[in-house]
Amino acid sequence: MHPPQPNRHKSLDVAPVLIAGAGPTGLAAAMSLSRAGIPVRLVDKAPEPSPWSRAIGIQARTLELFEQHRLVEPFLERGHRARIGNLYSNGQRLMRLDFDPLQTRYPYLLFLDQAVTERLMTEHVETFGVRVERGVELVHFNQGSAGLEATLRHPNGAEEHLRPSYLIGADGAHSMVRHGLNIEFTGKTFEQTFLLADLQADTEWPDDEFHIFASGEGIATLFPMGDGRTRLIADQRAAAQSPDAADIPPKSAAPTLDECREIVARRIHHRVTVRNLAWSSNFRLNNRMADRLRSGRVFLAGDAAHVHSPAGAQGMNTGIQEAFNLGWKIARMLTGVAPDRLLDTYHTERHPIEREVLRTSSFMTQMAAAEHGPMKLIRDHVMPALSAIGPLRDAARRTVSELSIQYRRSPLTLDRGLDGGPRAGERAPDAWVHVVDGPLGRAPGVGCLFDLHDPAYFSLFLMVKPSEEDDIAMAPATLTVAHALRDKDLDDLAKSVEEVLPNSVRVWRITDKGGDGARSLTEAYGRTRPCFYLVRPDGYIAARGRAPSDTQALLRHCETWFGAGKDE
């Protein structure tokens, strides 16, 4: 069964959403909105894409979301896969984390230059008619009773005044949008500066492993980039800098190959030879986050909302996932009659995750850099012991890969309890399924759940037993009375949800079909049948329950939070 072609909403006659910043976060927001038919203005004051290729790690959850946006293949073709991570202390390996057991199509960390990531995402949004307006700067905005007003300055100095429906500030650590909202950027400044260098490294290890080295001299990491390239990252323990130094290269000269060699020799304690330095830079980092992510019609995302240590390769991935969380909610407001409080859930859901990312990355940095004291004890003795415990090791894999991100406490979740399976608020995992019936006259066939979900829509998955599927396929006269009634109940459930969410939901009736490459439906979603899972456009479960007994609860939940859509 071939994946369905994207069914893009036609562009709506509404004021565009203005996105300031065309990095990965801004591009992800443009992807989410434009796919739903929302007009977008994507501006970036830089005349050219940034040459600083700092973010290189793409986590499994981000790849899953790219897959749902039909974008993952070019990333897999160009990126380099690392399936194992190693942590060392003074040359002795303390921990080895294998990503293969992850229940995902992407059990690895994908390394790819940020510049390439941005190019691929830019090419994708262009297919929806979105053009990155380079050299165009947001210089002023104001919101009042008349709505939102913004002023753009073009490269020739001309100013343009517009009234966007919403503004997304994805304009980096020194966000003009954040400053304009007077939102505090709470946190602290790192004492270290970080060295980044792309070079060739001859090592004793396979090229599908990455390495983090801790020693009394400081931290050093080696990330394989493919094509013989390696990314070296090391802290330099400079004096503390002011908050305004966040994420900006200091004025000192770029690190030399000799400096990189000295770091490798003093910190790695293994046979590693580095050569052919292609690019290097120094960066200062803060550990800060915005106090709030929304102010009226204006939102913060990505580095504008948080900056932190590169430990864990979480930053870019966090920003991209924020954009996908926000995009469908803005689209829902502009295409339907959802309540304004839906937009408040962007902060409700994402702010705790940002806080945890900052806490974890700061802890990892301090632990790796510790020369003595409790943090060194934790690194050298406690962490190896904990990593030997299976469930804790599994939790570490899921945390790093961001598959564990969940919104179970969000008001957007309805969980009626089933026999196993993911809970409402968790990511909807992939599964190998047999499609009994689907939208657009979809013929029955076999495929993966990710192929069925379109991030421009909600997906309502009605899961039935294989025996029921066989009965449904028969002539109506051969159906048992019980199955016929149950079939009618499922039809009524589907029609009711479509009435509450017109033009906004796709209904799929599916059952188990074992196959390679993904778990079975029962393995992924438990044994309760028949049941329903309502999946949000961003791939997280909004509601689950038994069909048809929980139908009314589902309808009330959809009416309360997602409203009734307008006709297209």
pLDDT digits (tens, 9 = 90+) for 217-248: 888 999 999 988 999 999 886 434 444 444 44
157 with 43, same domain? yes
Q: What pLDDT, on the 0 to 100 scale, is given for residue 566?
A: 44
Taking 70 as the threshold, does the pLDDT of residue 9 lie above it? no
| CATH code, domain with 313 | 3.50.50.60
Residues 430-453 have a mean pLDDT of: 86
pLDDT score at 393: 80
Within-domain flag for 229: no
Query: Domain check: are 165 and 312 in the same one?
Result: yes
Averaged pLDDT for residues 66-80: 97
Which tokens is 567 given? 């006709």
34 lies in a domain? yes
Give me the domain span that covers residue 487: 414-561
| 196 in Cβ contact with 233 (< 8 Å) | yes
Q: Is 364 exposed, middle or buried (0-12, 13-18, 19+ CB in 10 A)?
A: buried
Q: Is 442 part of a structural domain of the chain?
A: yes
CA gyration radius for the chain?
25
- Whether residues 15 and 145 fall in one domain: yes
Q: Are residues 364 and 453 in the same domain?
A: no
> What whole-number percentage of the chain has pLDDT above 90?
66
Residue 130 lies in a domain: yes
Query: Quick one: 481 and 548 in the same domain?
Result: yes
**Does 408 fall in a domain?**
no
Q: Quick one: pLDDT at residue 5?
A: 43
User: Cα angle vertex 519, ends 63, 102, to 5°?
Assistant: 50
pLDDT of residue 487: 77
Rounded distance between C-alpha atoms, residue 110 and residue 78, angstroms: 9
Question: Is the domain of 346 the same as that of 449?
Answer: no
Please give the pLDDT value at position 316.
Answer: 92
| pLDDT for residue 508 | 95
86: in domain: no
Asked if pLDDT for residue 39 goes beyond 80, the answer is yes
Instruction: List, for residues 123-161, the tens digit of each pLDDT value.
Output: 999 999 999 999 999 999 999 888 999 999 999 999 999
Q: Which amino acid is at 48?
A: E
Q: What is the mean pLDDT of residues 307-322?
A: 83
Which of these three, 336, 369, 402, is where a domain ends? 369
Q: Is residue 81 part of a domain?
A: no
pLDDT tens figures, 155-192: 999 999 999 999 999 999 999 999 999 999 988 887 77
The continuous run of DSSP H or E covering 474 comes out as none
pLDDT of residue 522: 92
At 6 the pLDDT is 44
Q: Which residues does residue 162 pair with via DSSP β-bridges, in sequence order?
A: 150
Least confident piece of the model among 261-265, 280-284, 452-456: 280-284
Residue-level pLDDT at 439: 86
Output the pLDDT for position 44.
98
pLDDT-based confidence at residue 468 (cuts at 50, 70, 90): low
Which residue carries 């505090």 as its tokens? Answer: 184
Same domain, 337 and 442: no
pLDDT of residue 429: 96
Cα–Cα distance for residue pair 259/193, rounded to 1 Å: 14
Burial class (CB in 10 A: 0-12, 13-18, 19+), 133: middle
Report whether pLDDT(264) > 80: yes
Domain finish residue from 352, 369, 386: 369
Identify whether residues 551 and 468 lie together within a single domain. yes
Specify whether 17 is located in the same domain as 135: yes
Q: What whole-number distance in Å separates Cα of residue 558 and Cα of residue 366?
A: 44
Tell me the average pLDDT across 488-497.
Answer: 93
pLDDT tens string 522-565: 999 998 999 999 999 999 999 999 998 999 999 999 999 998 54
Whether residue 485 is predicted with pLDDT greater than 60 in this model: the reply is no
Distances (CA, A) of 148 to 15, 126, 165, 502: 10, 26, 7, 28
* Reported confidence tier of residue 13, pLDDT bands at 50, 70, 90: low
**Distance between CA 426 and CA 432 in Å, rounded?**
19
- CATH number of the domain that 509 lies in? 3.40.30.120
Q: What is the pLDDT confidence band of residue 7, given thresholds at 50, 70 and 90?
A: very low
Same domain, 360 and 498: no
Average pLDDT, the chain: 87
Answer whether residue 264 is part of any domain. Answer: no
pTM: 0.90
Write down the pLDDT at residue 395: 86
Are 167 and 310 within one domain?
Answer: yes
Q: How many domains are there within the chain?
A: 2
pLDDT value at residue 536: 98
DSSP per position, 239-297: PP--GGGTT---SSPPPPHHHHHHHHHHHT-S--EEEEEEEEEEEEEEEEEES-SEETT
Answer yes or no: do 427 and 314 share one domain: no
Binned at pLDDT 50, 70 and 90, residue 346 comes out as very high
Query: Among 354, 369, 384, where does a domain finish?
Result: 369
Residue 261's pLDDT band, with cuts at 50, 70 and 90, is very high
Q: Which residue has the tokens 């443009």?
A: 30
